């Protein structure tokens, strides 16, 4: 009885997880484009800082602003693989039942969709991790420069 309830809950989670994977992939493409645009702008104007409006904030507020800017891409890089795993595992049970029942074609369709979900999720995670690393370096360099400008030891 409990196993049947778990199976029903898991099946109910499939579509929301797939929607989240699609949103994560779209967001990953968007932040990658924004980061590439920022890199291009930095190349054209090297003195431009990554911390806009830094003079009006305390150093603690600046550090919090850095964390706020980085947190979405950090979460993208960490949560996307989990969503991909969920998107793969949910259809795995019914697909294996189809194989056992001799319905290999139906199982193949289920596996194809499941693996597509994990591929998109892993691609989103890879993009998120890359963007996080690049932006973290930029923001920490800007934070160090701001501390030096204010005469505070980094």
Give the Cα separation of 28 and 23 in Å (integer): 8
Is pLDDT above 90 for 113? no
pLDDT digit string, tens, across residues 64-80: 989 999 999 999 999 99
**Averaged pLDDT for residues 121-145:** 94
What lies within 8 Å, CB to CB, of 72 at 6+ separation is 27, 31
Is pLDDT above 60 for 154? no
Q: What is the DSSP letter of 152?
A: -
Give the Cα separation of 98 and 110 in Å (integer): 9
Which is higher by pLDDT, 114 or 118?
118
- Give the model's pLDDT for residue 24: 97
Predicted confidence band of residue 93 (pLDDT cuts 50, 70, 90): confident
**Could you give the count of Cα atoms lying within 13 Å of 133 in the half-sphere of its Cβ?**
8
- Do residues 59 and 146 lie in contact, with contact meaning Cβ atoms separated by under 8 Å? yes
pLDDT digit string, tens, across residues 17-40: 999 999 999 999 999 999 999 999
- Domain ranges within the chain, ordered by starting residue: 2-150
Give the Cα separation of 39 and 102 in Å (integer): 54
Buried b (16+ CB within 10 A) or exposed e, 46-56: eeebbbeebee
- Do residues 80 and 124 lie in contact, with contact meaning Cβ atoms separated by under 8 Å? yes
What lies within 8 Å, CB to CB, of 114 at 6+ separation is 87, 88, 90, 91, 92, 95
């Amino acid at each position: 009885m409990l196993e049947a309830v778990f199976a029903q809950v898991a099946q109910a989670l499939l579509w929301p997880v797939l929607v989240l994977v699609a949103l994560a992939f779209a967001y990953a493409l968007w932040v990658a484009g924004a980061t590439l645009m920022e890199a291009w702008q930095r190349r054209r104007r090297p003195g431009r800082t990554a911390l806009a409006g830094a003079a009006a904030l305390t150093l603690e507020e600046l550090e919090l602003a850095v964390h706020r800017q980085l947190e979405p891409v950090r979460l993208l890089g960490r949560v996307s693989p989990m969503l991909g795993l969920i998107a793969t595992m949910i259809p795995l049970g019914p697909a294996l039942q189809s194989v056992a029942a001799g319905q290999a074609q139906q199982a193949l369709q289920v596996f194809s969709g499941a693996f597509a979900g994990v591929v998109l999720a892993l691609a989103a995670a890879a993009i998120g991790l890359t963007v996080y690393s690049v932006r973290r370096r930029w923001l920490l360099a800007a934070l160090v420069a701001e501390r030096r400008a204010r005469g505070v030891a980094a």
